[in-house]
Chains A and B, each alone.
Chain A
Amino acid sequence: MTSASPGGRPPGAPRDRGESIPPDPPGTLAAGLRLVARGDPDAFDAVYDLLAPSVFGIVRRVVRDPAQSEEVTQEVLLEVWRDAARFDPGRGSATAWVMMLAHRRAIDRVRSVQKESERERRTAAADIPFDEVAEAVESSLERERVRRCLRSLTELQRESVTLAYYGGYTYGQVASLLGVPAGTIKTRMRDALIRLRDCLGVAS
């Protein structure tokens, strides 16, 4: 089974000069966002169906609490509605934009709402392996790909990514949880991200 990369470009294929991202084909998120930007409610309905599982997934993974996860998911999707006209395709894919929003809002919620004692309790939760899932959505191919690429990292790289990205911990917290200097964490994160990018076949 071949893996389709976004925009139809095979990994490692050369880019045209001046082009920053692959174009989004019609029927995808970017096309839907263009309609949402004009206030089209049917388009927003469709965009919700496309986005809600991913947004809810990452939010729930970071925030944990089910009620707050729903609140943050709603915040994120409303922000997509509100700012659809400001999405700049030159800066990256629509999915990347929305996932950044979702991750940021989730981290903001975790850091503002949870007290230090709750953060300590969550330390145990960070040990939960990536595989944990309540109900999976289709795109199991993508989940497998990411899972496989995470497995290709060194243990320290993978733990840094898990704690920082899914756990929402700061440098200092990750460093102390892993018993490693903060400078080492920085380098591990960079290496992990580059390896993930290359493994996932994101054109660079």
Chain B
Amino acid sequence: MDAVSGPDRARFERHLAGCAECAREIASLREATARLAAATAVAPPPALKARVVAAAAATRQRPPAEPEAAARGRRAHGGQASGRQARGWRAHGWLGRGRLALAAGAVAAAAVAAAAVLFGLSNGSMHDQLSRAQASSQQVAAVLTARDATMMTGAVKGGGTVTIVMSHARRELVFTAADLHPLPASRGYELWLIGPAGDRAVVMLPPGRHGMTGPVIAAGLRPGDHLALTAAPTGGASRPGPMMLDVVL
């Protein structure tokens, strides 16, 4: 596989950094929206309080969500990632802690989506969509800024290049692709984790924009896992098909 050239790598870095900004952008827009709500404050009827307090006394509370960090091992995962070479892939130190040019387009797009969701303009449960969007942006940011984050780049059979930023400590990676060869309408790209612990489909890649696809997160990486990219029917495949990309993690 060929290594990715300098300008392409820079494009990836900008794209990923811009998406890491999305989480902060969405959070600040949520706060502004909340101010719109709070400014309409009006004293409720006094009798309401007794009803609410009584109802609460009769209502079970939900326990806290499982802390994710506890589920992740902090042990080193088969040695340090930096300096690792895998099948002709180039590993680069990730510059996440330095200043990166922001992908202004990605942040602006997030703002438009955030506005739509915050105001419930579409159908369906938009606030849940926003929460999910924010959660995934934060997850991307967390991997990119992890102490042991390492970037790998490489070429896809059939066209396109891929960039992965992985954190062994978090057992997660962020996957982005550029210029993937378009597939027919009934098919899409699917990301798989293949390994001794079993093969599992990660996600169908979302449609690309301006030639960039993703980022998507793959979590729960296990020792010996390979990351594979296949073409699959749009609903996903039950087993990985021929691999257009196979990376040892």
Task: For A156, list chain B residues within 8 Å (CB).
Answer: none
Query: With A90-B138, A202-B28 in contact, is A161–B36 under 8 Å at CB?
Result: yes
Task: Give chain B's interface residue range (CB within 8 Å of chain A).
Answer: 35 or more
Task: For B127, list chain A residues within 8 Å (CB).
Answer: 100-101, 103-104
A172 to chain B, nearest CB (A): 9
Task: For B116, list chain A residues within 8 Å (CB).
Answer: 171, 186, 189
Task: For A98, list chain B residues within 8 Å (CB).
Answer: 34
A84 to B64, CA, bound (A): 8
A2 to B172, CA, bound (A): 45
Q: Is B70 an interface residue when CB atoms closer than 8 A count as contact? A: no
A41 to B52, CA, bound (A): 12
Q: Is B230 an interface residue when CB atoms closer than 8 A count as contact? A: no
Q: How many A-B residue pairs have CB under 8 A?
A: 204
A85 to B61, CA, bound (A): 8
A62 to chain B, nearest CB (A): 9
Whether A37 contacts B64 by the Cβ 8 Å rule is yes
Query: With A91-B134, A194-B111 in contact, is A142–B39 under 8 Å at CB?
Result: yes
Task: For B100, list chain A residues within 8 Å (CB).
Answer: none
Task: For B38, list chain A residues within 8 Å (CB).
Answer: 54, 57-58, 95, 99, 139, 142
Whether B115 contacts A139 by the Cβ 8 Å rule is no
Instruction: Name A199's closest neighbour in chain B (CB-CB).
Output: B32
Task: For B53, list chain A residues within 8 Å (CB).
Answer: 41, 44-45, 48
Report which of B43, B57, B145 forms a contact with A41, defined as CB distance below 8 A.
Answer: B57
Query: With A74-B48, A74-B51 in contact, is A200–B35 under 8 Å at CB?
Result: yes
Which chain B residues (115-138) contact chain A, with CB distance < 8 Å?
115-116, 118-123, 125-127, 131, 134-135, 138
Most buried by B among A45, A73, A190: A190
